[in-house]
Structure 1
Amino acid sequence: MLEILQRLAVDCGLIDAGEYTEAAKEWEAQLKPKESGSGNYYNSQHAYLGQRYIDLAFTRYHQGRFDEGALA
């Protein structure tokens, strides 16, 4: 809503285009998501693979069907 009002103010000659451009840059920066850390690798893998797959992999590992390298 504020952007519309400022655009109308530019059109009516109440503010200059440079002021509007600076404000538009600020609005754009506010819309961009803030970058966060890389997250937790292990939680991401768990979500990606699913609980059934994780359970099956560890079951096979504990049965001795493959070693830690294969499990990884």
Structure 2
Amino acid sequence: MDDNEKIITTVWESVRTIANKEAEALGKQVSPAFTASLAEILLSQMGIMASDLEAFASHAKRAGISMEDAKVK
């Protein structure tokens, strides 16, 4: 399993665990389709954020991403 597959698997498992825990606390249930959709949305947002951070670093003429790139102003 490569690093990308590990990240995807970890995100899916984490989303499933958190969604089930929160649903149980509310006396509700969540479907596997819901948790799959939520995990896919999260992975998509993570990809967008990574691209944005790379663009911010590039704009600042840096080879790597720094905390300054991630700070909300």
Q: Same fold (TM over 0.5)?
A: no
Normalising by structure 1, we get a TM-score of: 0.35
Normalising by structure 2, we get a TM-score of: 0.34
Larger Rg, first or second structure (1 or 2): 1
User: Structure with the greater relative contact order (CA < 8 A, sep ≥ 6): 1 or 2?
Assistant: 2
